[in-house]
Amino acid sequence: MKRLLATLLVLIVGIASSGLLYAQSSDHSIFQLSTLNALKQGVYDGETTFGELRKHGDFGLGTLNGLDGEMLALNGEFFQIKADGKVHLIPDSDRTPFAVVTFFQPDMKLSLSRVSDMKELQETLDRMLPAGDRPLAIRIDATFAYSKVRSVPRQEKPYPGLEDALKQQTEFELKNVRGTVLGFRFPTYMDGVNVAGYHFHFLTADKKAGGHLLDCSTESADVDVALISNLTLKLLE
């Protein structure tokens, strides 16, 4: 028993010194409305209201009917970042064709040192996060020296495919802003159901700017991670 306790103590010290802290893991679930492939094909209208969606999660991302901007859910509030870059609270009556949400409870806490761009951020996370085939929900809080985000204007019927719609995107560059990056990392076998790899949206701390994250840099960041065990997929009616 003493040897076992000593071994556990060494493991705990090693984890803490690496900047990686684990909380007790539990079974976390993701609720997803529709699929990425449906969105790619221009299926931009759904019947699910945000009032219904909030029953399934307080954290996540997606869009609104008509592909009207970027959606981000943080601490139970749902925000729309429109193509003009302005942020709006989403009323419960609005509807969404695609969203991914969870009730966010972190299992892991990371401390990141300087990352110079999006590529380095993803590579750093890959080194620190557990390998494997389970999705992860990720929240990053930092002061970002630089961030580049985008949003998309509402589309008109007949809807174009997502690739063509994204040609109309508006990009914004933000400097020296405090904010939260949030999103998911999905395994490659889920490509088409969702984005394989990382998918992040961004919201400034003052809730005045944000969007789909294209690039960023920061000197340090606090990262919370939830390990996902279950996925509920609701198809469009």
User: How many C-beta atoms lie closer than 10 Å to residue 207's C-beta?
Assistant: 16
Q: Is the pLDDT of residue 4 over 50?
A: no
21-43: pLDDT as tens digits: 444 446 799 999 999 999 999 99
Please indicate whether residue 15 or residue 32 has the higher confidence score (pLDDT): 32
Ranges 1-15, 53-67, 197-211: which has the least confidence? 1-15
User: How many C-beta atoms lie closer than 10 Å to residue 22's C-beta?
Assistant: 15
Q: Which H helix or E strand runs over 12?
A: helix 2-17
Beta bridge partners of 199: 184
Looking at the domain 26-234, which fold is it? 60s Ribosomal Protein L30; Chain: A; (3.30.1330)
Q: Is the pLDDT of residue 18 over 50?
A: no
Q: Is the pLDDT of residue 235 over 50?
A: yes
Torsion of CA 38, 42, 44, 46, to 10 degrees: -40
Question: What pLDDT is stored for residue 85 in this prediction?
Answer: 94
Question: What pLDDT is stored for residue 13 in this prediction?
Answer: 31
Question: What pLDDT is stored for residue 219 in this prediction?
Answer: 97
89-143: pLDDT as tens digits: 999 999 999 999 999 999 999 999 999 999 999 999 999 998 878 999 999 999 9
User: How many C-beta atoms lie closer than 10 Å to residue 181's C-beta?
Assistant: 25
Question: What pLDDT is stored for residue 175 in this prediction?
Answer: 98
What are the residue ranges of helices labelled H in 41-117? 50-53
Name the average pLDDT for the chain: 90
Phi, psi (rounded to 5 degrees) for 16: -60, -40
148-168: pLDDT as tens digits: 999 999 999 999 999 999 999
The encoded tokens of residue 149 equal 């985000």
